[in-house]
Amino acid sequence: MYSLRVEGSFSSAHNLRGYKGKCEDLHGHNWRIEIIIKSKALNEIGIVADFTDLKKKLNAVLEELDHKYLNELACFKKINPTSENIARYLYKKLIPQIPLLNSVTVWENATSSATYDEIS
């Protein structure tokens, strides 16, 4: 099995509704996003996918979130913009464009992340 990993990032603000603690207040993150695609086979030139193409697709989706107050976006009006929900949102947005997508990991800082996949 081959695994490819591509990273992107965006900056945004959010707050967690119903949370008791610091995260209920408006605050921001420099989010780091990691996507992993997997395949058992290589194409005719010996690659799973073009890294440049994967980065373009990822960055186009991340642009929708960059420098936004996430709570005001339609996708997070009813659900909290947690790392977990952001990972799921990005997965759902990317899977039609990247069928080999295995997982999306959202890092809200250097030591804390959440991963979403539908394979496990």
pLDDT in tens, 27-54: 999 999 999 999 999 999 999 999 999 9
What is the rounded average pLDDT of the residues 86-100? 98
117 assigned to some structural domain: no
Q: Contact at 8 Å (CB) between 32 and 107?
A: yes
| Residue 119 pLDDT exceeds 80 | no
Helix, strand, or coil here: 53? Answer: helix
Domain that holds residue 23: 2-112
pLDDT (0 to 100) of residue 120: 61
The percent of residues above 90 in pLDDT, for the chain, comes to 97
The contacts of residue 59 (CB under 8 Å, 6+ apart) are 8
What span, in angstroms and rounded, lies between the C-alpha atoms of 114 and 70? 17
Structural domain includes residue 118: no
Into how many domains does the chain fold?
1
Look up the CATH number of the domain holding residue 72.
3.30.479.10
What percent of the chain lies above the pLDDT cut of 70?
Answer: 99
pTM (2 decimals)? Answer: 0.95
Helix (H) or strand (E) holding 18: none
Q: Whole-angstrom Cα distance, residue 77 to residue 70?
A: 8
